[in-house]
Amino acid sequence: MSSSSKKKSAPLPASSAGLLRFFEDETKGYKLDPKIVVSIPVGLIIVSWLIDIFLVK
């Protein structure tokens, strides 16, 4: 096998056009700000620490 036949049989890399097309599609449902998605679990962790510190003896 020559090196030219290996190049012809090698698969092409995936193009980014397919990924962009995927993310351009609108989906139904609620749209949340990422800050809210991160702040809710962090807030729950802080509340559970405060309950553990002040109420559980």
Q: Is residue 37 assigned to a domain? A: yes
Share of the chain above pLDDT 70, in %: 53
Residue 15 phi, psi (nearest 5): -85, 155
Residue 30 confidence (pLDDT): 82
Q: Is residue 10 assigned to a domain? A: no
Structural domain total, the chain: 1
Assign residue 14 a region (left: φ > 0; alpha: ψ between -120 and 50; beta: otherwise): beta
- Span 7-14, mean pLDDT? 57
Per-residue pLDDT of 22-44, as tens digits, reads 555 667 888 889 999 999 999 99
Q: Is residue 48 assigned to a domain? A: yes
| DSSP track, 43-57 | HHHHHHHHHHHHT--
Give the C-alpha separation, 20 to 22, whole Å.
5
Q: Is residue 22 assigned to a domain? A: no
Six-digit token string for 30: 């609620």
Residue 27 confidence (pLDDT): 72
Q: What pTM did the predictor assign?
A: 0.48
Q: Using pLDDT thresholds of 50, 70 and 90, give the confidence band for residue 46.
A: very high
Domain carrying residue 42:
31-57
